[in-house]
């Protein structure tokens, strides 16, 4: 069931935007209640589930905010290509198969997108840069849950 919970971030990254925000706001909470109410759930699973639910909500919202901003004010191709074809697929991969390798690849793809966004960043690109920074910070903060290892400070 945790795989299903993580799937909401995968959908936020790759599925059409229409209806994603409403689904992200309700479905993970419903699934969280089911997971916590399961009889015989181990203490470890019960402790892990709320962490995953919070992470799914935070990262999912951040991804949707980023994609919506890109739709309203499309960034230049030099930035939109790495976001759409590297950063978002890497985030989806991380939530599909969490582990140290997928976590490192997702962070690296966000770092690269931020590097591109910072280069010659006019004021119109600042909201995207802020959103990328927030996503990266959340991934670093959640390193133990996502990758099974603690990361040194950035």
Show Cβ contacts of residue 120 under 8 Å, excluding neighbours closer than 6 positions.
Answer: none
142 occurs within a structural domain: yes
b/e sequence 16-34, b meaning 16+ C-beta within 10 Å: eeeebeebbeebbeebbee
Domain membership flag for residue 102: yes
Residue 152 in domain: no
As a whole number of angstroms, the distance between CA 91 and CA 70 comes to 17
Per-residue pLDDT of the chain (154 residues; tens, 9 = 90+): 788 889 999 999 999 999 999 998 888 788 778 877 777 766 666 677 788 888 999 999 999 999 999 999 888 888 899 999 999 999 999 999 999 999 999 999 999 999 988 875 666 667 888 889 899 998 888 877 776 655 444 4
Nearest CA to 66 out of 107, 118, 19, 14 is that of 14
Q: Give dist(CA 129, CA 107) in Å, integer.
A: 14
Q: Does some domain include residue 101?
A: yes
Residue 28 counted as domain residue: yes
Q: Is residue 129 part of a domain?
A: yes
Structurally, the chain folds into a number of domains equal to 1
pTM of this structure? 0.85
Provide the domain limits for residue 34: 2-147
Residue 154, in any domain of the structure? no
Dig out the tokens for 90 from the structure.
């890497």
Residue 26 inside a domain? The answer is yes
Residue with the two structure tokens 């849950």? 145
């Amino acid at each position: 069931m945790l795989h299903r919970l993580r799937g909401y971030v995968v959908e936020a990254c790759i599925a059409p935007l229409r209806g994603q925000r409403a689904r992200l706001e309700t479905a993970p909470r419903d699934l969280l209640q089911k997971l916590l109410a399961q009889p015989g759930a181990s203490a470890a699973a019960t402790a892990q589930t709320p962490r995953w639910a919070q992470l799914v909500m935070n990262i999912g919202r951040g991804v949707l905010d980023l994609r919506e901003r890109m739709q309203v004010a499309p960034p230049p191709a030099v930035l939109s290509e790495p976001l759409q074809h590297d950063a978002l697929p890497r985030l989806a991969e991380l939530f599909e198969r969490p582990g140290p390798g997928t976590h490192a690849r997702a962070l690296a793809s966000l770092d690269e997108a931020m590097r591109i966004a910072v280069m010659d960043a006019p004021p119109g690109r600042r909201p995207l840069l802020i959103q990328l920074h927030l996503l990266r910070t959340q991934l670093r903060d959640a390193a133990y849950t996502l990758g099974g290892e603690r990361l040194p400070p950035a």
